[in-house]
A and B are shown apart, each in its own frame.
Chain A
């Protein structure tokens, strides 16, 4: 059926060496790694999106994935959430390999995750309160009063109390993103995925969003994976940074070390230079 998350053309094959890597058994990550992607391959039609892509996200830390536009950063989030399935490789979430899990079991994995979409993806026929309360009505046995209190608290913590009764169309882009955050964190997930949270926002709203992510992190101590390429925001929130280039993670490590990387691709990206190994 169309809603299945493996709508990719499997007829396109990767090279035999790549296939062997992708087919190799996965290695369960240590306890302090909440999400581990190992040798993931993903193709859309004949286009290779991810190739031997590996990434570890430590529990309770913020990992920022940076890279060029269209490099496949958002796809990594969709793989972690199970919205897409790789043609090869393994993705461990809280110790379990989710590649190959049936949709029914993926639902259990997703209940412990929050996903803040790039365009907020708010349900346009529901008010802000109804949007934020949706996961609670769907997956918890809380009473309506308890849900109302939880939603009010979440909206208040993100400075959204005044817009609780508005429809998404009545909100600015920045506010929509924050409502998307509220919906993603309202059930206090263990893993939060942020897809381009600051893209398309003015500098002030970018700072507001960056502060919001830091607030969420300090409150929930969740494992966060943030896809973005706004470097000041990345430095402000990241514990670790990983750079995606040509379908693979070419470097990852603590944020404080990343700036000092000698990798010419990373240096060109950080400096925003037109000259260097990155093809324009």
Chain B
């Protein structure tokens, strides 16, 4: 990696992708053979997932409110008030819920992972693990990976529910849409299938955020400036990959 910068972009791209795949493969070896400490996974889940809940609640709540705000005006104008609930839920559960949650998560939890691991590289803590015959992948990556893959779908459930409720609140506030009409529309538009596929997407996004964040953290060179650089890079890369994979998964799952 040291000489990576300055090489042609395709070479760097495949080197980066190869590095991510290798990190995933290394992690899966420990996960599939159950060589990790559940207490470390729980500890990471608390820090990465539970502590992300407030910001996820806020962002998803506002997302539901704004979707409903825009939809209600159009629906009332064209006489389709009975579709408000469905349109909010449809967009949220299949697309916006998983994707926006993942983006906010990348900004909060992904950045935290990269900064933490980057600081550990700078202070030789990663080398300390290696020098003692410990695998940093096993000790540091696997707990974060599991916490993100399991935890992000859970956050997405919260985000979906809050966004759809937010949509209802806005519809009621604007046009006094009845509870029955709103929830009936929600039921007509989305099924368990949509919900499950949305959560599957969230799990993939959790994997992306954790892998990219850990990979970038381990690539840290230099001091504080290096940590800042890789942290920014981790968030940017995660967000780009989340958008790209969201399109690819929607194409495959919902076509």
Seen from chain A, the residues whose Cβ lies within 8 Å of a Cβ on chain B are: 1-3, 5, 7-9, 11, 44-45, 78, 81, 83, 103, 106-111, 113, 115, 117-119, 121-124, 134-135, 138-139, 183, 193
User: Which of B54-62, B74-82, B126-134, B166-174 touches A?
Assistant: B126-134
Q: Out of A2, A5, A109, which one reaches B19, CB within 8 Å?
A: A2
Tell me, in angstroms, the Cα distance from A239 to B175 when the chains sit together: 88
Contact of B130 among A8, A83, A123, A124 (CB under 8 A): A83
Decide: B124 and A107 in contact? CB cutoff 8 A.
no
Smallest CB separation, B111 vs chain A (Å): 18
Q: Verify A108–B26 contact, CB threshold 8 A.
A: no
CA distance A109 to B132 in the complex (A): 9
Total number of B residues with any Cβ neighbor in A under 8 Å: 24
Q: Does B136 contact A (CB under 8 A)?
A: yes
CB nearest to B218 among chain A residues:
A2
Inter-chain contact A117/B127, CB cutoff 8 Å: yes
**Which residues from chain A contact B215 at a C-beta distance below 8 Å?**
2
Q: Given the complex of chains A and B, what is the CA–CA distance between A103 and B26 in angstroms?
A: 12
Q: A1-B19, A2-B218, A108-B133 are in contact. Are A9 and B2 (CB under 8 A)?
A: yes
User: Do the beta carbons of A44 and B2 come within 8 Å of each other?
Assistant: yes
For A7, give its contact among B1, B131, B134, B136 (CB under 8 Å).
Answer: B1
Known: A1-B26, A119-B124. A81 touches B135 (CB 8 A): no
- CB nearest to A131 among chain B residues: B128
B residues less than 8 Å from A134 (CB atoms): 132, 134
Are A1 and B22 CB-contacts (below 8 A) given A9-B2, A9-B3, A108-B133? Answer: yes
In the assembled complex, how far is the CB of residue B26 from the closest CB belonging to chain A, in whole angstroms? 6
Query: Would you call B130 and A3 a contact (CB within 8 A)?
Result: yes
A1 in contact with B132 given A9-B3, A83-B127 (CB within 8 Å):
no
Residue-wise, chain B 213-226 has the 8 Å CB interface mask toward A (1 for contact) of 00100110000000
Quick check: A138 and B132 within 8 Å, CB to CB? yes
- Distance of A37 from chain B, by nearest CB (Å): 17
8 nearest A-B residue pairs (beta carbon): A115-B131, A121-B124, A1-B22, A110-B133, A121-B128, A2-B218, A9-B3, A107-B133
State whether B2 touches A7 (Cβ < 8 A).
Answer: yes
Closest Cβ of chain B: how far from A7's Cβ, in Å?
6
Residues of B within 8 A of A (CB): 1-3, 19, 22-23, 26, 123-128, 130-137, 215, 218-219
- With beta carbons under 8 angstroms apart, the residue of A5, A8, A11, A138 that contacts B134 is A138
* Assembled-state Cα–Cα distance A182/B108 (Å): 36
Is B133 within 8 A of A3, CB to CB? no
Find out whether the CB atom of A113 lies under 8 angstroms from the CB atom of B131. yes
Residue among B19, B125, B131, B219 making CB contact with A83, cutoff 8 Å = B131
Which residues of the other chain, B, contact A113 by a CB distance below 8 angstroms? 131
Given pairs A1-B26, A2-B23, A118-B124, 15 additional interface contacts (CB within 8 A):
A2-B215, A2-B218, A44-B2, A45-B2, A81-B130, A83-B131, A110-B130, A113-B131, A119-B123, A121-B124, A121-B127, A124-B123, A124-B125, A134-B134, A138-B132
Chain B residue nearest to A138 (CB atoms) is: B134
Distance of A122 Cα from B119 Cα, bound (Å): 12
Q: Is the CB of A135 within 8 A of B132?
A: yes
Whether B128 pairs with A115 at a CB distance below 8 angstroms is yes
Give Cα A129 to B166, complex, Å.
49
Inter-subunit contact B133/A138 (CB<8 Å): yes
Asked whether A11 lies within 8 Å of B133 as measured between CB atoms, the reply is no
